[in-house]
Structure 1
Amino acid sequence: MMRILLFLATNLAVILIASITLSLLGFDGFMAANGVDLNLQQLLVFCGVFGFAGSLFSLFISKWMAKMGTGTQIISQPRTRHEQWLLQTVEELAREAGIKMPEVGIFPAYESNAFATGWNKNDALVAVSQGLLERFSPDEVKAVLAHEIGHVANGDMVTLALIQGVVNTFVMFFARIFGNFIDKVVFKSEEGHGPAFYIATIVAELVLGILASAIVMWFSRRREFRADEAGAHLAGTGSMINALQRLRAEQGVPVHMPDTLTAFGINGGIKHGLKRLFMSHPPLEERIEALRRRG
């Protein structure tokens, strides 16, 4: 539950900071000086600028954040035959997927996991955990790498950043409309914005921000099926299924990965009840069944 709260807090913090910045810069001055009339076009433009700013900035620094957050060590010169095999395998998969060779790294974690990130498909990072390398067979490791290469080739990092920017924009937009309505209609403020506007706007941003996070996670889950298909195409359906089954066998092991990267790992952990709405990954059983249907 704490990981979900941290993830939501990150998204909400971006929205709230943008909200405060808009007010400090005076951009709220164009809204509803009389009654509930709003310049919706200007409001939408300003919300769009700030809504996309946070998500795009995070995208551009995603590789640096991933390295710092996970302690990933980049393999520049392979020191062992395992590192040499890892580089050769990623190079082969990247060539087959039609993308440039990404950076390759290993991060110190016991759980089996891997992630891909980067601001575009020709400037990406693919990393695997030490635990995955130690316990998975070469075919299973290759399938996991193929899954991550699939994310890169599909442009999933950019897609999620754009989706996050869109939902941030509309959270800010509708929250201000709601705040203005409460301020002008319910509390009858006549000049400027009264306290009701700011309180109502913040409350609306919190509620809409939670709903927006659920929407982003829904897109994230759809994206995992596509990456599994790409992994099956590049490494073989059987190997991809075996890798997912091995992940399922280790589901009791907690997933320790920064929340900003959880959506890009191959294993997102298990959640139950309402928490399932905020899962970045579909249940492994559903992913395995989808691959079996694919045949």
Structure 2
Amino acid sequence: MLKLIFLAQVLITILYLGKLGLLFVVGVFLILAGLYLWTIKSSLNKKQRKLSYEDLPWLYDGIMRMANKAGIATPEIYLLDDYIPNAYSFRNSVVLSMGLFEVLDEEEILAVAAHEIGHIKNGDTVLFPLISYGRYLMFAITLLNFLISRNTLVLLASFIFYLLYEVRRSDYLKQREFKADETALRLIPVPLALKRALEELKYYEDLRIEVKESALPSIEPKIERPYQKSFFETHPSYEERIWKIMAEVEAMTLRGRIFN
């Protein structure tokens, strides 16, 4: 669906603006393609440190077992020097922040890592950047049409295609998060550890927002970090994920009873 929306946007631009539209689309595409290639090759920053087996044997062993079970190469593991609990993946690498180790136990940390392995297994570390850069190209094309085009129908169609892309992108990325959770549940020995991890992270986030809102205007709380609500959310809420996890664990249990 995203491909069709993208192609429709490109097509109406080229048909109406002709050579100018084609040159613009190709030019922006080449720039974004270069940025994409640069991004996937240099996703590290100075705050990330590569972990060795000797640093955290239990974490390394756990991720190795889950990767083998998922049928992928063992990801490289990085520690992010950040007190905010966070985790993400890029290429074949998993990044865990120091903050995770403050609020989660070992089982829960492995469950979070399993979610990131799920993204790698499902190809999301390649798909997500493509979708993001596709969004930038859609915006650039829409802006071009608004600046140059004098055709009301073209302007309206371009804007509608951009909105459709945003809506579909939001829904698609949410579904990929659910899929990564489902993959994680099949990799970790204790499926409910992922539920516990999300509950802990939700509690921490709620506490952080509460501290931020109750602080004096002239005082910045230590755990403060900008919290912005986007109109097109790309991540499901903790409640949605926890509910889906509970339903999936129940289904897994039921299937186990039937086949046993």
TM-score normalised by length of structure 1 = 0.61
Contact 2:81 2:98 in 1 (8 A): yes
Distance, in Å, in 2 between the alignment partners of 1:220 and 1:59 is 21
Distance, in Å, in 2 between the alignment partners of 1:60 and 1:92 is 31
Corresponding residue for residue 234 of structure 2: 280
1:247 corresponds to 2:225: no
Distance, in Å, in 1 between the alignment partners of 2:27 and 2:122 is 25
Contact 1:270 1:283 in 2 (8 A): no
Instruction: Call closer, same or farther: CA 1:52–1:148 in 2, change over 3 Å.
Output: farther
Shift of 1:74: 0.3
Corresponding residue for residue 39 of structure 1: 18
Shift of 1:46: 4.7
Instruction: Call closer, same or farther: CA 1:107–1:167 in 2, change over 3 Å.
Output: closer
1:102 corresponds to 2:75: yes
**Number of aligned residues:** 216
SS in 2 for 1:106: strand
Kindly report which structure 2 residues correspond to 1:3-22, keeping only aligned pairs within 5 A, or say none.
none
Shift of 1:229: 0.9
Distance, in Å, in 1 between the alignment partners of 2:239 and 2:173 is 17
Kindly report which structure 2 residues correspond to 1:92-241, keeping only aligned pairs within 5 A, or say none.
92-118=65-91, 124-182=92-150, 216-235=169-188, 236-241=190-195
Contact 1:112 1:132 in 2 (8 A): yes
| 1:219-247 per-position Cα deviation (integer Å, ceiling 9, x unaligned) | 32222111111111111431111111111
Amino acid at match of 1:76: S
| 1:61-101 per-position Cα deviation (integer Å, ceiling 9, x unaligned) | 34633x316x011013524xxx1111111111111111112
Contact 2:53 2:60 in 1 (8 A): no
Corresponding residue for residue 54 of structure 1: 32
Distance, in Å, in 1 between the alignment partners of 2:197 and 2:30 is 36
Contact 2:83 2:99 in 1 (8 A): yes
Contact 1:116 1:148 in 2 (8 A): yes
RMSD of aligned alpha carbons:
3.5
Distance, in Å, in 2 between the alignment partners of 1:127 and 1:100 is 16
TM-score normalised by length of structure 2 = 0.69
Contact 2:88 2:94 in 1 (8 A): yes
Contact 2:202 2:238 in 1 (8 A): yes
Distance, in Å, in 1 between the alignment partners of 2:178 and 2:16 is 45
Amino acid at match of 2:231: L
Amino acid at match of 1:246: E
| 1:133-152 per-position Cα deviation (integer Å, ceiling 9, x unaligned) | 23312211111010000011
Q: Which has the higher contact order (CA 8 A, sep 6+)?
A: 1
Corresponding residue for residue 8 of structure 1: none
Shift of 1:213: 5.5
Shift of 1:174: 3.8
Contact 2:100 2:109 in 1 (8 A): yes
Corresponding residue for residue 72 of structure 1: 48
Instruction: Call closer, same or farther: CA 1:87–1:53 in 2, change over 3 Å.
Output: farther
Instruction: Call closer, same or farther: CA 1:227–1:155 in 2, change over 3 Å.
Output: same
Distance, in Å, in 2 between the alignment partners of 1:59 and 1:215 is 24
Amino acid at match of 1:72: Q
Shift of 1:167: 3.2
Uncovered stretches (5+) of structure 2, i.e. residues with no partner: 1-12, 210-224, 251-260
Distance, in Å, in 1 between the alignment partners of 2:21 and 2:84 is 46
Instruction: Call closer, same or farther: CA 1:222–1:59 in 2, change over 3 Å.
Output: farther
